[in-house]
Structure 1
Amino acid sequence: MTRFVSKILVFLYIFPFASFSVSLAQSSPETSGADSRLKRVEQGLLPAVLVKGDPSWSIEERMKHYKVPGLSVAVINNHKIDWARSYGVTDIEIGEPVTTETLFQAGSISKPVAAMVALKKVEQGKLTLDENINNKLTSWKLPDNEFTAKKKVTLANLLSHTGGLTVHGFPGYAINEKIPTLQQVLDGAEPANTAPVRVDMEPGTKFRYSGGGTTIAQLAIMDIEKKPFPQIASDTVLKPLNMTNSTYSQPLPNDWRKKAASGHRPDGKLVEGKIHIYPEMQAAGLWTTPTDLAKFAIEVQLSVAGRSNKVLSKEMTEKMVTPFMEEVGLGFFVEKHGKALYFGHGGADEGFRAELLVNKDKGYGAVVMANSDNGQILREVLRGVAREYGWDEFLPAAHEIVTIDSTKLDEYVGRFQVNPDRVLTVTKVDSRLYAEPTEAPRVELLPLSEISFIRRDQNIQYTFVRNTAGKVDSIQIRFPGGASQAMRIFGDTQIPYEMLMAGKAVEALEGYRRIKKEKPDANVIAEARLNTLGYTLMRQNKLPEAIAIFKVNVELYPNSWNVYDSLGEAYMANGDKELAITNYKKSLELNPKNSGGVQMLKKLEGK
């Protein structure tokens, strides 16, 4: 049931494009300059790794490449919106052009906007940052357990994802589905489609992202104000910041829906029902525009600088952009690029992606929103903006690619084991070197020297290493924050994943058992990874392989209700009704509040 969606790039598809520009600069000279900057950004999208001499991309060609129907951008410069522009269509069926006033789902960017709401309630004395959140909750209580014996969960914990709380995120609800109350969501009770939100590690000891925790904060705000959350958010933040095209209303009222985009899958098709509904408003429920989010970001910048207090004082705003633990403040993530500090947040609702990123100390930044699950284009736009506006230390240095004798590449060809269930296959095609990681598409390796190579899509460097006999026997793989060694493997050696794909389910299971025994904490046999792999295989219509991987998960994690739920879903998709019923029943034995399982069991049993 709980799915971790991987993004898969698919075939090129051309959408109709229409674009509209709204300049919000303050004088005509600035407007003229903004137009020039806009045009250069439109033609200047950049990959994650820069290579000298490589051409940049246009927004239009990258939208076609990623099958993104609609895109909207707002750029901040000198604490003002320098320009805003939109591209494409709101809905591939309707074909209505996106405008700068078209609403998109902000996903998790809902969180920092709502964090400002919460912090205003702190300034008003209605909430406190460091007291037990249960003291403010009246309509529901967070159950205490052994993990809360020493420390209680506080509002600061909820806003910084340090409360030790479960439930990473929410898939939302299709238009025709029954919508749960917030209390049902928090208890994982029918018709909620996610697990109960509970504390399973000591609060304040570790960062772990939890939309569940954010939802508790929403309920606390509603309990103290005794009003609907959309009204509270509007009165507290949206109206004071003139965010006139923003609302937390869920479901979206008809008059707002007319101005909103529809969500699209990675293959360019519409989300079933076009949009999902999110009762978890603080976590994922904001409908907005890049222009409105830019207004919000500018207010944070100015407040931190002591130049505005439309909502919060400088001291309280600082808490939003100052790390509470690791790189997360009370609302925003903080990125350090050299000496430059940036704050921001990403967002991902069903069929929508969004990015907000601004410099903390200087008046620039950008917001990009798309009505597509393919969010790779967002960072490409941000990098194009960063180059045009000279963002401090944001872009990496460009690499110089060298020419080497293609015959020297032959000794690099082969298979190298990255971890117990991942292999990097290196091939040579037309005098070029390519790497194909397990479960990922092939990418070209570009030479920095005779032994070191990079790839354009990720900041990873591969260096081929020789042994004492002079033979290439491994690859050193360097990535931000670390490095690993991949040893060459020979003959017909297969990792468990490859066995699974070859129909050798018994051998694959034995391989996973061996990994579990030898490296019990290895990520490759983590329940979430295997669950993700199973659903990836289901989307590829590889049902026997998906069933096999879910069965592995059941054996390795027999006390998890979710593994049985996933296996039941795979059996149901394969037409194995009795086995589906058996596994859904087992899931419900372990978690009677698995409302999704209850619904599926009723469907299977014809009740």
Structure 2
Amino acid sequence: MEPNRIFIPLLLTLILGACSKQKERANTSYAHIEQRIDSVAKDFIDGGKVKGLSIAVLSNGKTIYNKGFGFMDSSEVKPVTNQSVFLMASISKLIGSVVVMKLVEEGRLKLDQTLYELLPDFPNEKQAKKISLRSMLSHTSGLQDYASEIDTLFIKTGIAPSKEDFYNFFRERDLLFEPGEDYSYCNSGFLLMSMIIERITGNSYQSEIDRVVNLPAGLNLKLIAETVDNPNTSTYFELTNAGLEPRPHWTWIKGDGGLTTTSLDLAHFPSKWNSGSIISHESVKEMIKPTILNDGVETGYGLGVRSGIFAGLKMIGHTGGNKSLLSKMVYFPEKDITIVVFVNTDNTSSNARSVFGEVALTILDEEVPDYSEDEIIGEHLKIYEGVYDYKGYKFDTNISIMLNPEDSHLYYCSSETECEKMYNLGNGEFWIEKWPLDKIVFDITDTGVVRALREYYIGYYVMLRKKKG
């Protein structure tokens, strides 16, 4: 017998044996991941502060985890399953921005067009001539957030607001700041975005979501107005002193937070979006790029996209919530891993952000970090001292950064009595032991002037606070 005829079967046996062992190790690894995430999810449900939640994890396009926990209804007869539909909330902003970028590619919109050009009937002409589409998608328009008033009115009356109601709100409100001068998370720009899309295309907002996103990507992202009567759509709850109470869905919401889907369907979105199959790679890069303000200060928000770092990995995507976080979608492009978490309960500390943190540590095989022994000692810290301000309807408050001469540490103070020690990690980056998965990063000029700080919560950029004085 020829030597090759002996060698080839032997080689095949070795390869198949190695593949079998590799597959066995992978299955064991996934089983371990499944058990750990199951335990995390059950702990949140057993705590009695979340009625139901859904988690999906994709790696290289393959589902490695997808489960539901708890219930979709008050009577607890409808368990959360993989087919359960949840409100995406503000993750909808990213999807709407994708539609805008498609219209830009088609030559039907320009990011630097003004609100005056795009919505000629906007009630404040002076403001409209200064506000660009780009500034609305990056939360730098200076518009006040309609939710501060319109949402409260809707809760009291149960009457859905009309376009005229929104226009009356904008007619009577000054800008928080001149466009491009600051960052303030604002639903108003994305409310107007959906109006712009409908006016420019002559189509409904949902039909443009279908055309640009759903059909090319094979997804099923639908406005809550279309899914509210779907038996698979979860009820929305709020944690109160009386317990978990059901709340009605707000079926009038569109661009700023009205989309719904399953956790697995949403988990398939980022890789398809990032691959260029929905919009071009150039458009994706434009969306992801952090916005630079007029004074050169960088935010951590692009065009409908949050960005950040978790366990040393770049992350992009978005979050959604109301009083607390209801949804979180994170894509790690370097590893092609997506994690989606939905919860159906508001006003609770046991929210989607907390669930994500524990799931992500499991998936990435990381531990809760402790940087207390990694801090840089001896650096001049006095430049960071001062009062830092955030403008916005939810967090319109100041915080103070103070240097304690006794222990040579900076402290993050939300009041005179509530201060947390900060650990210096270098390059203007600091860690606080109380919030181990969060970071604070200062914006510093080449000449050593501190202009602002950015706060990152469990990876994602959340807010910019500019230094006063």
Out of 211, 216, 224, the residue aligned to residue 240 of structure 1 is 216
Q: Secondary structure at the match of 1:357?
A: strand
The alignment of Structure 1 onto Structure 2 pairs a total of residues equal to: 365
1:178 aligns to 2:151 (yes or no): no
**Cα gap change, 1:95 to 1:130, in 2 (>3 Å):** same
Say yes or no: does 1:167 pair with 2:145.
Answer: yes
Distance in structure 2 (CA, Å) of the matches to 1:122 and 1:106 = 24
Equivalent residues of 2:142, 2:175 under 8 A apart:
yes
Change (3 A) 1:28 1:239: farther
| Secondary structure in structure 2 of the residue aligned to 1:239 | helix
| Kept after mapping to 2: 8 A contact 1:74/1:84 | yes
Q: How is 1:378-457 mapped onto 2 (pairs within 5 angstroms)?
A: 378-390=352-364, 396-397=369-370, 457=434
Percent identity over the alignment is 22
The one-letter amino acid of 2:304's match is G
Q: Counterpart of 1:265 in 2: which secondary structure? A: strand
Q: Deviations over 1:156-197 (max 9, x none)?
A: 1111111111116473845972212234224339xxxxx966
In the other structure, the counterpart of 2:284 is 317
Cα–Cα, structure 1 residues 198 and 283, in superposed 2: closer, same or farther, change >3 Å?
farther
Matched, 1:64 2:46: yes
- 1:354 paired with 2:330, answer no
Deviations 1:451-470 (A, max 9, x none): xxx9975249xxxxxxxxxx
Partner of residue 87 from structure 1, selected from 53, 69, 74: 69
Q: Which residue of 2 aligns with 1:547?
A: none
2:295 corresponds in structure 1 to none
Higher strand share: 2
1:262 corresponds to: 235
* 1:455-494 equivalent positions in 2, closer than 5 A: 457-459=434-436, 480-481=440-441
Structure 1 stretch displaced more, 278-287 or 119-128: 278-287
Q: Which residue of 1 aligns with 2:197?
A: 221
The 3 A distance-change label for structure 1 pair 28 and 180 is farther
Find the counterpart in structure 1 of residue 407 from structure 2: none
**Whole-angstrom CA distance in 2 between matches of 1:199 and 1:341:** 33
Question: In structure 1, which of residues 276, 279, 287 is the aligned counterpart of residue 249 of structure 2?
Answer: 276
How far did 1:134 drift? Answer: 2.2
Alpha-carbon distance change, 280 to 62 in structure 1, aligned in 2, over 3 angstroms: closer
SS of equivalent to 1:227:
coil
Distance 1:175 1:84, change over 3 A: farther
Q: 5 Å matches for 1:117-156?
A: 117-137=99-119, 140-141=121-122, 143-145=124-126, 152-156=130-134
Tell me if the contact between 1:352 and 1:371 (Cα under 8 Å) persists in the aligned partners: no
Which residue of structure 1 lines up, in the alignment, with residue 80 of structure 2?
A: 98
Task: State how far apart, in whole Å, the 2-side matches of 1:327 and 1:421 are.
Answer: 19
Shift of 1:361: 3.1
User: CA separation in 1, counterparts of 2:145 and 2:65?
Assistant: 37
**Cα separation, 2, equivalents of 1:260 and 1:197:** 36
Letter in 1 for 2:136: L
Residue 342 of structure 1 aligns to which amino acid in structure 2? M
2:34 match: 38
For 2:136, the equivalent position in structure 1 comes to: 158
Q: Which of structures 1 and 2 has the bigger CA Rg?
A: 1
Contact 1:248–1:281 (Cα < 8 Å) also in 2: yes
Out of 371-380 and 319-328, give the one that drifted further.
371-380
**What TM-score, normalized by structure 2, do the two folds share?**
0.67
The whole-number CA distance in structure 2 between the counterparts of 1:120 and 1:201 is 29
Output the amino acid matched with 2:86. Answer: F
TM-score by length of 1: 0.53
Q: Quick one: structure 1 residues 281 and 479, their matched pair in 2 at CA, closer, same or farther if it must change by over 3 Å?
A: closer
Distance 1:117 1:175, change over 3 A: farther
Change in Cα spacing, 1:28 to 1:285, as seen in structure 2 (3 Å) is farther
| CA offset digits 1:438-481 (Å, max 9, x no partner) | 8999x9x9xxxxxxxx9975249xxxxxxxxxxxxxxxxx9835
Does the CA contact (< 8 Å) of 2:227 and 2:233 recur in 1? no
Task: Say if 1:200 and 1:438 are closer, same or farther in 2 by CA, change over 3 A.
Answer: closer
Residue 31 to residue 185, structure 1, CA distance change in 2 (3 Å): farther
> How far is 1:137 from its partner?
2.1
In structure 2, the partner of 1:208 is 184
Aligned residue runs from structure 1 range 368-379, under 5 A: 368-373=341-346, 374=348, 376-379=350-353
- By how many angstroms is 1:356 displaced? 1.3
1:342 equivalent to 2:315? Answer yes
**CA shift in 2, pair 1:316/1:250, >3 Å:** same
Tell me: CA distance 1:61–1:395, structure 2 relative to 1, closer, same or farther (3 Å): closer
- Which range moved further: 324-333 or 382-391? 382-391
8 Å Cα contact 1:351-1:371 kept in structure 2: no
Residue 115 (structure 1) aligned to one of 97, 104, 112: 97
Cα contact 2:325–2:351 (8 A) shared by 1: no
Asked if the contact 2:97/2:303 (under 8 Å) is kept, the reply is yes
CA contact (8 A) 1:106 1:352 kept: no
C-alpha distance in 2 between matches for 1:76 and 1:284:
24
Equivalent residue number for residue 464 of structure 1: none
Measure, in 1, the Cα distance between the counterparts of 2:85 and 2:338: 20
Are the aligned partners of 2:224 and 2:259 in contact in 1 as well (CA < 8 Å)? yes
Aligned partner of residue 237 in structure 2, secondary structure? coil
Taking structure 1 as reference, are residues 249 and 86 closer, same or farther at Cα in structure 2, changes over 3 Å only? Answer: closer
Query: Which secondary structure does the structure 1 equivalent of 2:236 belong to?
Result: coil
Q: CA deviation at 1:316?
A: 0.3
